[in-house]
Structure 1
Amino acid sequence: MRTIVWVVISIAIMLFSILNWNPVEITLWNGILVETKVPALVILAFLLGLFPMWLYHRSVKWGLQRRIRSLESSIKSAALARQRETPVDTTADKPVDAPVEKPAEPLSPVDEAREESKP
């Protein structure tokens, strides 16, 4: 769509230039006379009006993109902080049919003496 618009604008400028190729005199300050063609004058006036608005558009777009990036990074850091706070459930990784491991019972004083006497 953007290409079509630029092609239409280019064709309109070319038609305008061909039909209005007449010299005009412009009086600037201190009596300076400039002789130019009408299409050059119109294109220059168009660009002088377009450029400030284009700069304003780019600056607003840049500011909004910075704001979006900062909001996205704060959401990411909040999500990571929330993820660290939630306890990890290790029983969900084990199958249901897996045997339950019993914790090792402490050794009695007799068993401890046997373990110490082993070479």
Structure 2
Amino acid sequence: MQFIKILFWVLLLVATFIFWWTNEARASLDMVAAVIEARVSTFVVGAFLLGFLPTWLLLRGSKWRLQRRIKTLEDAARPAVVPTPAPSRAPTPAAEPAPAVSSVGNDPVTGV
């Protein structure tokens, strides 16, 4: 996609240059302090840039502001990760020793 954008801007630049080069009619612009004499195409390209650049800058500013706002909202919507506590290594109560098993006296009543 980036290649297509670059190709578009290069083609637009080449078309503008060809337009400027082929139109050789001269014109003058009378201002209060000076008289500017240049090609008509120079005035056309200048007028285009005077209208395009502020609009383009507003677009870029709006896009930047909205991207920041979207990122803030996405961060706020993302669930907070709460770390789970690790299981504690509390000492376990000591088990009572098992009664000794012997071959004699297994029955507590009779002793056999």
Scaled to the shorter chain, the TM-score interval is 0.5 to 0.7
* Max Rg structure: 2
Q: Find the counterpart in structure 2 of residue 20 from structure 1.
A: 23
Deviations 1:18-65 (A, max 9, x none): 2102211122347x5321112221221111011111111112112111
Aligned residues: 89
- Cα offset, 1:74, TM superposition: 0.9
C-alpha separation between the residues in 1 aligned to 2:16 and 2:57? 23
Q: Find the counterpart in structure 2 of residue 113 from structure 1.
A: none
Pair 1:69 & 2:71 matched: yes
Identity %: 31
Listed as ranges, the gaps of 5+ residues in structure 1 are 91-102, 108-119
RMSD: 2.7
Listed as ranges, the gaps of 5+ residues in structure 2 are 97-112
C-alpha separation between the residues in 1 aligned to 2:8 and 2:49? 17
Paired residues for 1:1-119 under 5 Å: 1-29=4-32, 32-76=34-78, 78-80=79-81, 83=82, 103-104=92-93
When normalised by structure 2's length, the TM-score is: 0.62
Q: Which amino acid aligns with 2:93?
A: A
Q: Which amino acid aligns with 1:34?
A: I
SS at structure 1 position matched to 2:27 = strand
